[in-house]
Each structure stands twice: as C-alpha cells, then as structure tokens.
Chains A and B, each alone.
Chain A
Amino acid sequence: MTRSPLVLIGKIWLALILVFLYAPILVMAAMSFNASPFYQLPFQFSTDWYAKMAGNQQIIAAAIRSVLIACATTAIATVLGTAASVALFRYDFPGKRILQVLLFPPIAIPWLITGTAMLVFFFAIGIGRGTPAVLIGHVALALPYVIVTVSARLSSFDVTLEEAARSMGANAWTVLSRVTLPWIAPGIVAGALFAFAVSFDQFVVSYFLSEPGDSTLPVLIYTAIRKGFTPEINAISTIIVTVSMAVMFLAARFSKFGGSR
C-alpha cells in the first residue's frame, strides 16, 4: 500500500499504541528519581530511593534469591530441554506426538491453577513451601519454552551434515560437539534467555510456593504494593524492567539470527 491518508492514520495509531505501552513504565521509572515520597510534582531529581533500596536488607536478599533461582532454572531447564529437543528431533517413536502436545498445558493453563496445584501437591508429598519448591516450579514452567525454541532451531538442521561427518570418521561425541551443537547454539542461547526471563519475572507460582520472609523480588513487591508502597518500590521495579527487557532483547536477537543464518 502506498502513501495515503489511511496509512498516515495507521502510523499515528501505531505511535499511540507505543505510547500506551511505554508511558506507564517511563512514568514509574521517572518517579523513582523524584524526591517526593508521595509522588508529588513538580519533579525534583534525586537518587535517594536507590540509596534507600540498596540499604534495604529485605529487598537485597530477595533480589539475590531471585537471581540465583533464575540462574539455576536457566541451567537446569536448558540442559534438560535441549536433551529432550534433540531426542524429539532425532528419533521416531510411538507416543512422540503426545509428548509434544504435553508441552502445551504448562504454557496454556493459567498460572493461578498451576501454582495452587503445585502448592497442594508439594505439601502432600512433603516438599512444602520454600526455595526448592519455587525452583521445581520455575524449571517446569521454563522447560516447554526451551524445548519449543531449540526444536524450532533444530527443524532447520540438515541431518546429512551429521552423516557426512560420520562417514569421514567422526565418532558420536565429535559429531555432537563439532556439528550438531554449534548449529543449534543460537537456539539454545535463546531458549536459555527465555528460561531466565520466565523465572526472573515469575510472580504467580513463586507467590504460592515461597515461604513468607523467604520470597523472590516480585512476591516482595506484591506484598509491598498491598501494604502501601514508597518510591523505593519504583526503584527496584525500574531495575527489574530494565534487566528483563535487556534479556528479552538479547533473546530476540539470538532467535532471529538463528532463523536467518
């Protein structure tokens, strides 16, 4: 379609949507640099809230816990997910279709249901609440994302490459480490970043599974919002949004490179 009033209206519409999507986040970020504790204007620049936040033991502890859980989730989900993707790609076996369909429920079922079900079950088998329960839950939520991302990359993999390597005398390990893995590496990196984001941003499942006083950042923020919050929460929220957007930006770059190479 060429230049016309309709196209212009469309572009303005797109611009308005971007404003709608970003304005609240930018306002929140701006308020974390505003001196007034009651969000009063005029704006007065100050980094006090970041200093307060850095001195808040609860926030720091929750931040460290969130990052550690996200890293552990990323490591476990990436390894298990990549292994499963390779198996699903490499072999034909009865029930394969069912295994692929089973990846859908953890993504599609609202987290409220999954989270409460995990809580009930983990109590019944004695795991209860706490960091191990949160980690088990996060890995389960991240796994389907890793498998889908790595499988997408694998689908463009030419199996004859492996055969060629093998015919020239490479053993199974060499084929895997020199041919297969380098090819799917962008998919694995993207999957790992997805896993990190799923865990780091996860609120609902963490909320039901974490012990009071032993919570992740989003759970801490939720509790703070309901008790009456201060711009300290804006400061930590601004940091979280920056981190997760950066991670997702990288993931998008990697999965795109994965597709175009």
Chain B
Amino acid sequence: MADLVTPAERRRLYTLLSPAYLWLMVAVFLPLSAMLFFSFLTDMPQDAPDWGVTLGNYAEFLSNPTYGTLMAKSLKLAVTVTLFCILIGYPCALVLAKSIKGRAREALFLMVILPFWSNSLVRIFSWAIVLRGNGVLERAINWVLPFDVRLNLMFTTDAVVIGLVHSYLPYVILTSYLALQAVDDDLIDAARSMGASKLTILRRILLPLSLPGLLAGAVLVFVPVVGSFMEPRILGGRMGTYYGTVIEDQFVAVYNWPLGAALSFILLAVVIVILAAASPVLKRAQT
C-alpha cells in the first residue's frame, strides 16, 4: 500500500477509480436522490409543464389505509418467509458444516448454492407449473394416496411463501454454513469429552457462535422479500397484492410516478431502518 505523495500517483488513482464510481453515481446514487425529489412533485416535469411541489404523495400514504395495510402485509410475508428459511436452512447448514467432510461437502454445498444463482423468475415460473391445479404435485400426491386430494395451492398466499422460501433459502444456508464452518472442531470435542450432550453443544456452542451468520442470512432474506412483486404476481393471483406490486402498478399501469416514487422511498426508509438495526450483527458476521 502506498500513500499518495506524488501528483502522478494521485492522477493514476483517479484514473483507476473514477470510471467505476462515476458509473455508480449516475446509475444508482443520483437516481435514488432524484427519486426523493420526484416524490415531492405533483406531476413529472416531462409530462406536465405546470408541475409543483407537494407533500401530497406522502399524505396519500398516511391517509389511505390501503398502503399501510399492504406494508404490514409485506412485512408479515417477509417475517414468515424468513422464519421458514431459518427453520429449514439452519439444520441443513449444520449438517453440511459439521457432519459431512471433504469432497462430498464441497460438492453438496455447491449444489445447494447453485440454484440461487440461476434465474429467479424462471424458478418462480417452475413453481407455477408444479402447483397449478391438476398439476404435477397434485397428481403425484393422488398417485401415492388412495383418496382424492385437492390442494388448490396455486394463487394462494401459501404458494407465494413456498416460491419465496425456494428463492431465498440458499442465502440462509450460505451465511450459516460459513459461520458454522469457522467454529473450531476442538471446541466441540472438548465439550463432548466433558460430557456435554449434542443438544447442549448446539445450544451453548454452535448456536451462539454462528448467530451472526444466521442473522446476516435472515436480513438478506427479509429485505428483498419486503420489496418483492414478481413472485406474488405470478404465484399469488388475486391474493398477490402486496406493497411491492402497488409500486409496480404506479410505474407500469397507473403511471402515477410521483406517488410511486414516494412509495418506493418509504420502502427504502423501511429497508434502511432494518439494515441499520442489523448492521452491528452484519459487521460481526463479516469477520
């Protein structure tokens, strides 16, 4: 590492850094600031020359109970999905990190993580194929069970939860696995040699030491689920109206961009509060 002493070095630093950061500035940070600005407008300047400044878009959020209800619905969905991801994913990470060794562990870990990097839209679509009435899942169950079962899962909240858990489960497994892997096996052996049961080892050693990783995974699931709109649209049908879908509507169907900007910004505020509350945990998880 070098301190900047000569003008030539300073120039080299700017040449290397500025393209990437200018790009991020133009494509991410200016848009976010612009959105805050537009959320206080009556109309978009390019549509109406007589646009004005107003607090009306935020007043709309406060006065119309629909938005608050949908925000609560989205938060509840995020809590549900996060809990399922933890309950399903943490034991899985535990098995991967502590009872499977060597090449098998590497291969299985890669297999768990791989779907996460494939197209999320396509994976939600695949659930639409599986869950649809008289679809593969219903047929499979009816083939095993002697009596007729009608699941009718498609276009329900359950379908949305299943799809979202499928989408974000690998996050929890990834972060928990990394945290659990860092726990020294000697610590576990020492506890066992002193007569600790498996449950005690889990409760007193593994869980506390991997908690930062688990919580980091939970945040990484929670935040995008609050803002999800594509999953509820495809799997939820008429039940699939959430805060995210209302924002989508403002931009692609209703064309009330200032209101959409205000709703987006309120969502961003919620996200920032969640991230800020979790940031001590996230920082600990990094190390």
Q: Which of B58-66, B145-153, B220-228 forms part of the interface with chain A?
A: B220-228
With both beta carbons as reference points, the residue of chain A lying nearest to B122 in the complex is identified as A237
Contact of B95 among A10, A102, A144 (CB under 8 A): A10
Q: A17-B88, A25-B123, A233-B125 are in contact. Are A83 and B132 (CB under 8 A)?
A: no
With both beta carbons as reference points, the residue of chain B lying nearest to A116 in the complex is identified as B264
| A122 contacts B by Cβ under 8 Å | yes
Q: Is the pair B31, A39 in contact by a Cβ cutoff of 8 Å? A: no
Q: In the complex, A240→B122 CA distance in Å?
A: 8
Q: Write out, one digit per residue, whether chain B residues 243-278 have a CB within 8 A of any chain A CB (1) or not (0).
A: 010011001100001001100100110010001000
Shortest Cβ gap from B141 to chain A (Å):
13
| B182 contacts A by Cβ under 8 Å | no
Q: A39-B129, A123-B46, A226-B233 are in contact. Are A17 and B24 (CB under 8 A)?
A: no
Q: Is the pair A24, B13 in contact by a Cβ cutoff of 8 Å? A: no
Q: Is the pair A221, B28 in contact by a Cβ cutoff of 8 Å? A: no
Majority DSSP secondary structure for residues of A touching B: helix
Q: Is the pair B123, A87 in contact by a Cβ cutoff of 8 Å? A: no
Q: In the complex, A31→B125 CA distance in Å?
A: 12
Q: In the complex, A220→B236 CA distance in Å?
A: 20
By a CB distance below 8 angstroms, the chain A residues around B227 are 110-113
Q: In the complex, A14→B98 CA distance in Å?
A: 13
Q: In the complex, A81→B17 CA distance in Å?
A: 9
Q: Is the pair A99, B21 in contact by a Cβ cutoff of 8 Å? A: yes
Q: Write out, one digit per residue, whether chain B residues 122-140 have a CB within 8 A of any chain A CB (1) or not (0).
A: 1101111110100110010
Contact of B247 among A116, A233, A240 (CB under 8 A): A116
| B184 contacts A by Cβ under 8 Å | no
With both beta carbons as reference points, the residue of chain A lying nearest to B32 in the complex is identified as A117
- Of A31, A120, A244, A248, most buried by chain B (CB within 10 Å of CB) is A120
Q: In the complex, A240→B117 CA distance in Å?
A: 12
Count of chain A residues near B, Cβ 8 A: 86
| A130 contacts B by Cβ under 8 Å | no
Q: Which of A47-55, A57-65, A90-98, A182-190 forms part of the interface with chain B?
A: A90-98
Shortest Cβ gap from A181 to chain B (Å):
14
Q: Is the pair B20, A27 in contact by a Cβ cutoff of 8 Å? A: no
| A21 contacts B by Cβ under 8 Å | yes
With both beta carbons as reference points, the residue of chain A lying nearest to B137 in the complex is identified as A27
Q: In the complex, A108→B275 CA distance in Å?
A: 9
Q: Is the pair A241, B122 in contact by a Cβ cutoff of 8 Å? A: yes
Q: In the complex, A133→B271 CA distance in Å?
A: 25
Q: Is the pair B119, A240 in contact by a Cβ cutoff of 8 Å? A: yes
Shortest Cβ gap from B158 to chain A (Å):
15
Shortest Cβ gap from B228 to chain A (Å):
8
Q: Is the pair B129, A110 in contact by a Cβ cutoff of 8 Å? A: no
In the complex, besides A106-B28, A114-B28, A225-B128, 11 extra interface pairs with C-beta distance below 8 angstroms are A10-B94, A20-B166, A24-B127, A27-B126, A27-B129, A91-B4, A92-B1, A113-B268, A116-B261, A116-B264, A140-B23
